[in-house]
Structure 1
Amino acid sequence: MADAEAAPSGCAATDAAIYTAPSSVDGNPGDLLACRSVALPHVPGNVPMKAWKVQYASTNVQGKKIAVSGTVAVPTATWAGPGSRPVVAFNPGTVGLGSQCAFSKQLAGAYQDEYEGEQVEAFLKAGFAVAATDGVGYLDGQTHTYMAGQNAGHALLDIVRTSRQVPGGSLASDGKVAISGYSEGGAAALWGAQLASSYAPELHMAGVAAGGVPGDLRLVGKQLNGGPFAGFLADAQIGLHQAYPNLPFDQLLNDNGRQAVKNATSNCLYGTLASFLGANVENYTTNHYTLDQLYALKGSDGMSWGDAVDAQKLGADIGGPNSGAKYKMDFPTFQYRGVFEEVIATQAEEDTRSRYCKAGITTQWNSSYPGEHLLTDSIAINDVTAWIGDRFAGKAAPSNCPLF
């Protein structure tokens, strides 16, 4: 846990300070490094709350201490449930790679094209505090490490720790914790869940809700390449290179590739999708590598692109608390997708659910929401909020895992 003396005595940091990366990060994961009291005009519903932008300490996939930004919001209404007020660690769906796209900036008024304000509203109206990470790589001059699972999971768990250190806040260390996210956020949520017992064992985990999950990037990339949503593939390639800088990247690019990187890092969600409409990965390298050929290329440390992609696969080597699995979980999941899913390969979503079920993790699955990818995020808001509320209330979690 963070040393209370390390926390700022007040939340008077400038906006610039929140997004300026420190030259070095000391202290423990979750330490509050800077904070600023803010309003959140892009959370609808006029929910009475206190909210802060925060910069906090986390850990990247190489084990290095880094700084991450995010938002903490606490309803002002008295918590009426059992125990201390619970916290939802929230990771938004894809917002884009550049620092201008940071979810905390958008919620606080610098709107680009975020679409998660209604989910935050629902959590706050239910009485839950929200600790929403921007994810790794949204400080000025950085690029988001899109789809790097350990980075995402650490950032989610650490902002819960941070939320309890905000001066003037009211969150106690014994409050229950749930994790939630959709699409990129769904992958991040499950990574946070898989890492919780080893990385943040002091947190009282109640459950994880994850929708539209790109649980196998090989399957997802194959579907995205050359299609209308190829911008997500571009983001993933750039983001994974940021997380694993030894992978071959810059030396592979042709002029189109170098321009593509500029396009992806200068746009947010919809600008990126427009820039890469129908794009095929073969057109961006000097040797016109296919995805399979790229996967075989190795970096200076011996890791290949295929190794990096496979390292993000969800549900691999998980098990219960008494298992010998690498990732141990003792709390339930709610996983879901839309009937008309067109962005994420449905096999990747179905297989992720299957791996959790086979590992003995209590899992509720819903694949009947009447929406495509983006709309399903909104359709499921009430179910997600209710499912998390039941976990906070101590109700037994349902499971509809098949018999294997």
Structure 2
Amino acid sequence: MSIIVGAVILTRPTTSLGVLAILIGVGLILSGILELAGGGEPDDGERMPRWRLVTAILWIAAGVFVLVFPGLTVRTVAAVVAVALLVNGALSLLAAFRRGATWDARASAALLGVAGIVFGLLALLWPDITLLVVAVVFGARLIIVGLLLTWHALRGTAPERRPAAEPRGVRRWARTIAAVVAVLLAVGAASLSATLRGGSPVVDEFYAAPRDVPDEPGRLVRAEPFERGVPDDAVGWRILYTTTDHAGDPAVASGLVVVPAEGEDFPVIDWTHGTTGFAEPCAPSLAEEPFESGALFLLPDILDNGWALVATDYLGLGTPGPHPYLIGRPSAHAALDARRAASELEEAKLGEQTVVWGHSQGGGAALWTGALADAYAPELDLAGVAALAPASNLTGLIENLPNVTGGSIFEAFVIAAYTGIYPDVTYREYVRPGAEVTVRQMAERCLAEPSSFVSVLDVLGLSRDPDIRAADPTTGPFGERLEENTPPPTISAPLLLGQGAADQLVVRPAQDAYVEDLCAAGQQVDYRVYEGRDHVPLVEPDSPLVPELIEWTAARFAGDPVEPGCVTSER
């Protein structure tokens, strides 16, 4: 039983955590029984030591607790493991000062204590990885102990219990060597952890709203010069401005404004960026590469054409959340209000004309921006909307995520946003209990920060059982909310929709279905499909879309007419 249960836990760790009451609980009870049966290390003397009896009782009690309170255990197992490591480390440190111990025994106890404390702190810092490691290590332990007992049973022997001779030579130093190795591993893990966390963006005071924020949306709250990623022949600012959240209440958002160094009355590209993450530090204006992190590779092209850039961070990125990831109205409000507020930045010398560009998440936001512009910001001169590989057909997108490498990371962002904004969408209904901690932790990491490496480890840990879902998110309240956030066919400005034929994330069949619905509703759309282009390569500088996008945008600023109705072309 020990071997079988251990093998199931080891090979399907996320599943084992999801059914913790059966696998981990039974495994803990088995560990106690094996301890009583002599499955641990040989001990001095003929009688079972009292500490072994106590350990066996604790194993069994822990297993019963897990079976009785499975939900609580899933949420707290990382913390329990961390506390256990910290307590064990502290006790080991105290043992280093016990009377009568040799100095090598003291050294090994102290080193093991330090290692235990470090690993305990790391378990608190990275609870999603802790859950996977605990499952794997515990499963391996059950297998090893089971194999040892099976071996002794087949031989007709039992582990010997005899007085141990004083260890000599290498045997005497084996424990100390092991302790040194443990400390080295702990130091290495701590250094890696510090590196991963040290590279994360930090939200500074600029993003904090003052007390006297205007209630009116689209007002500039503050601005300051911004140089990171801005070309030498341009001038940039980061801005804080007022907008409207999902409930219609006043809120603040941040963004960037970049203009050519010479000239005035610049036409504006209102950029809605692709996915950068869900948490506050994931704002492009905080990133090391503020433009490329959201897939804007064409800033030099924008400036070379004498245009200006206004780029919202959206709500909840930089400013307090929750970030409305793939939620249409507040994303559109943030884009329209960024454009309004940028007009108050006199140094930027912006003109009146605006064309919206957006990619992926931002492509969906661009569609929503065009759909709401007439009603929400009728004073803006919106000359066109370019949606590139847009997250438009949200049901089709979510259905495809389990087929995408790393799709669970994007799904974590969607779940975090929809559960944070809509009370009728809950983790309990849509996420497997064993995957909930992992999903929550993945949602807190930005794609451009070093700690996203841990999310990659999460994805690898989920690879044997990648479905994090307890229920189909395209059904029930979640499905209804996804339908609500599909961009409507109410865009009065000319619309260009670009799609990569080889896109693995926003797949062409889902995009085709969305365009068919637009056409059926009478929406004008120029739908262009680019052969061989995947999701991000569609908007990279060498893409055939780029010169066509520039040409199309120049025509919109020039006021050239567009062909009415729906036009689909293969490029």
Q: Same fold (TM over 0.5)?
A: yes
Is 1:212 the equivalent of 2:389? yes
- Structure 2 SS opposite 1:177: strand
Is 1:291 the equivalent of 2:473? yes
Q: How far apart are the structure 1 equivalents of 2:567 and 2:246?
A: 34
Partner of 2:329: 150
Following TM superposition, by how much is the alpha carbon of 1:167 offset from its aligned partner in structure 2, in angstroms?
4.3
Partner of 1:311: 484
Following TM superposition, by how much is the alpha carbon of 1:381 offset from its aligned partner in structure 2, in angstroms?
2.6
Q: How far apart are the structure 1 equivalents of 2:404 and 2:456?
A: 10
Match of 2:359 among 169, 174, 182: 182
In structure 2, relative to structure 1, the CA distance for the partners of 1:113 and 1:265 (3 Å cut) is farther
Aligned pair count?
A: 357
Partner of 1:300: none
Following TM superposition, by how much is the alpha carbon of 1:371 offset from its aligned partner in structure 2, in angstroms?
1.3
Partner of 2:421: 243
Q: Cα deviations across residues 13-42 of structure 1 (Å, max 9, x unaligned)?
A: xx823222456843311111121111132x
In structure 2, relative to structure 1, the CA distance for the partners of 1:281 and 1:147 (3 Å cut) is farther
Match of 2:228 among 18, 37, 40: 40
8 A contact 1:225–1:279 mirrored in 2: no
Partner of 1:228: 405
Partner of 2:500: 338
Partner of 1:52: 237
Is 1:266 the equivalent of 2:266? no
When the two chains are superposed, the root-mean-square deviation of aligned CA atoms in Å is: 2.8
In structure 2, relative to structure 1, the CA distance for the partners of 1:241 and 1:190 (3 Å cut) is same
Partner of 1:194: 371
Q: How far apart are the structure 1 equivalents of 2:558 and 2:465?
A: 47
In structure 2, relative to structure 1, the CA distance for the partners of 1:117 and 1:205 (3 Å cut) is closer
Q: How far apart are the structure 1 equivalents of 2:322 and 2:439?
A: 14
Match of 2:206 among 7, 13, 18: 18
In structure 2, relative to structure 1, the CA distance for the partners of 1:19 and 1:281 (3 Å cut) is farther
Is 1:361 the equivalent of 2:523? yes
Following TM superposition, by how much is the alpha carbon of 1:208 offset from its aligned partner in structure 2, in angstroms?
0.3
Partner of 2:32: none
Q: Cα deviations across residues 227-255 of structure 1 (Å, max 9, x unaligned)?
A: 31412222112122233245323686525
Is 1:78 the equivalent of 2:263? yes
In structure 2, relative to structure 1, the CA distance for the partners of 1:120 and 1:241 (3 Å cut) is farther
Q: How far apart are the structure 2 equivalents of 1:341 and 1:263?
A: 23
Q: How far apart are the structure 1 equivalents of 2:252 and 2:310?
A: 16
Letter in 2 for 1:290: D
Is 1:64 the equivalent of 2:249? yes
Q: How far apart are the structure 2 equivalents of 1:252 and 1:202?
A: 42
- Structure 2 SS opposite 1:36: strand
Match of 1:28 among 197, 202, 216: 216
8 A contact 1:18–1:69 mirrored in 2: no
In structure 2, relative to structure 1, the CA distance for the partners of 1:393 and 1:280 (3 Å cut) is farther
- Structure 2 SS opposite 1:334: strand
Q: How far apart are the structure 1 equivalents of 2:295 and 2:235?
A: 18
In structure 2, relative to structure 1, the CA distance for the partners of 1:113 and 1:250 (3 Å cut) is farther
Match of 2:550 among 377, 385, 390: 385
Q: Cα deviations across residues 172-224 of structure 1 (Å, max 9, x unaligned)?
A: 4xx11110011111101000000000000000110000011221211111111
For structure 1, which segment, 394-403 or 122-131, has the greater mean C-alpha deviation from structure 2 after superposition? 394-403
In structure 2, relative to structure 1, the CA distance for the partners of 1:399 and 1:368 (3 Å cut) is farther
For structure 1, which segment, 85-94 or 360-369, has the greater mean C-alpha deviation from structure 2 after superposition? 360-369
Where in structure 2 are there 5+ consecutive unaligned residues?
1-202
For structure 1, which segment, 46-55 or 349-358, has the greater mean C-alpha deviation from structure 2 after superposition? 349-358
Q: How far apart are the structure 1 equivalents of 2:247 and 2:239?
A: 23
In structure 2, relative to structure 1, the CA distance for the partners of 1:399 and 1:266 (3 Å cut) is same
Where in structure 1 are there 5+ consecutive unaligned residues?
1-14, 297-303, 319-326
8 A contact 1:135–1:152 mirrored in 2: yes
8 A contact 1:89–1:160 mirrored in 2: yes
Is 1:114 the equivalent of 2:293? yes
8 A contact 2:500–2:532 mirrored in 1: yes
Letter in 2 for 1:162: A
Following TM superposition, by how much is the alpha carbon of 1:122 offset from its aligned partner in structure 2, in angstroms?
1.6
In structure 2, relative to structure 1, the CA distance for the partners of 1:373 and 1:110 (3 Å cut) is closer
- Structure 2 SS opposite 1:373: coil
Letter in 2 for 1:144: H
Is 1:96 the equivalent of 2:96? no
- Structure 2 SS opposite 1:63: coil
Q: How far apart are the structure 1 equivalents of 2:332 and 2:372?
A: 7
For structure 1, which segment, 331-340 or 351-360, has the greater mean C-alpha deviation from structure 2 after superposition? 351-360
Letter in 2 for 1:145: P
Letter in 2 for 1:222: E
Q: How far apart are the structure 2 equivalents of 1:227 and 1:169?
A: 41
8 A contact 2:371–2:492 mirrored in 1: no
8 A contact 2:273–2:296 mirrored in 1: no
Instruction: Give aligned-pair identity as a percent.
Output: 23
Partner of 1:105: 286
Higher strand share: 1
Letter in 1 for 2:520: K
8 A contact 1:57–1:158 mirrored in 2: yes
Q: How far apart are the structure 2 equivalents of 1:126 and 1:140?
A: 32
Q: How far apart are the structure 1 equivalents of 2:499 and 2:457?
A: 24
Q: Cα deviations across residues 144-165 of structure 1 (Å, max 9, x unaligned)?
A: 2210111111111111101111
Q: How far apart are the structure 1 equivalents of 2:357 and 2:392?
A: 15
Match of 2:317 among 129, 138, 145: 138
In structure 2, relative to structure 1, the CA distance for the partners of 1:113 and 1:156 (3 Å cut) is closer
Letter in 1 for 2:478: W
Q: Cα deviations across residues 313-368 of structure 1 (Å, max 9, x unaligned)?
A: 123xx3xxxxxxxx3x3221010111211111322211222233333333211112
Q: How far apart are the structure 1 equivalents of 2:424 and 2:222?
A: 31
